[in-house]
Structure formats: structure tokens, C-alpha cells
Amino acid sequence: MYTDLAEIFEFEKKHQTPFTPCIPLLYALNKRMELLLEETYDKVYQRHKQMAEYTQKWAKSHFEMFPEPGYESITVSCIKNTQGKNVKELNQKLAEKGYEISNGYGKLAEKTFRIGHMGEWNLSGIEEVIGLINLIWGLT
């Protein structure tokens, strides 16, 4: 609703807004767009792709990817927990280091886990998180 640009532009003609705008959200969107223009879309895409490839290569060497081949995301990797590791416990230990990943939803809660690689993340951050996961879970 906050990003319904067609409706926003219609109301702009009357110097109004279609709803009370969420000002902090607009400032955040403006800042994110400034950062995108500064880094450039192509570089952002390549950075996300690099993090996804690194994460997915790691996941395939220890687990399995949840999506069918060819449907993996460049913003988040969903990994099958084929080793039956305790994701909730992992998150508690990662939180002590200032990191967090996510488990799956519903029936997939402990059967899958997700590692996000989007926003302002970079490859060194992903390497650090995966290094901590390796250490916590005893993966080599």
C-alpha cells in the first residue's frame, strides 16, 4: 500500500496523499535509493550474486539446497537440514556474536534453514557467518 505509486501520483495531482504516509519509511527508501545509485544496480546485483554463489556452494558441500536446481535465489539461500542440526540452538549461539539466520516455516521449521545475503551485506560478512556455523556445528 505504501508503494502504490499509481495511487500516490493520482493524489499528488491534488497535492495530497492517499493515506497518512509513513515518514520513516520514506526516509529509509530515499536513503536506500541514494545508496543504490552510488553503488550502481549492476554492482549491487553482482555483490548479491557473489554472496549467493558462495553460500550455495557451501550449502551443497554440507547439506542440500531446498529449491529445485535453477530456482535458487540471489537474496536468500534455503538449505535442507539433511544433517538434522539444531537450528534454534545455532541461532542462539550466532546471536551471541551478533548474527542471526532463520529456520524454515511451519513443517519445515527444523528441516530447512535460510541464510540471507541481501541489503548491505558483503562477501566477508557471509564468510564470517558461515565460518561461525562451521565452528558451532563442527563442519569442515
Q: Are the beta carbons of 83 and 62 closer than 8 angstroms? A: yes
**CATH fourth-level superfamily of 41-137:** Aspartate Aminotransferase, domain 1 (3.90.1150.10)
What is the pLDDT, as a whole number, of residue 138?
96
- The pTM assigned to this predicted structure is 0.83
* pLDDT given for residue 93 in this prediction: 97
Burial of 102: CB neighbours in 10 Å, binned 0-12, 13-18, 19+: middle
Tens-digit pLDDT profile for the chain (140 aa)? 667 889 989 999 999 989 888 889 889 989 999 999 999 999 999 999 999 999 999 999 999 999 999 999 999 999 999 999 999 999 999 999 999 999 998 999 889 999 999 988 999 999 999 999 999 999 98
What does the pLDDT read at residue 21?
82
CB atoms near residue 51 (< 10 Å): 24
Residue 140: per-residue pLDDT? 83
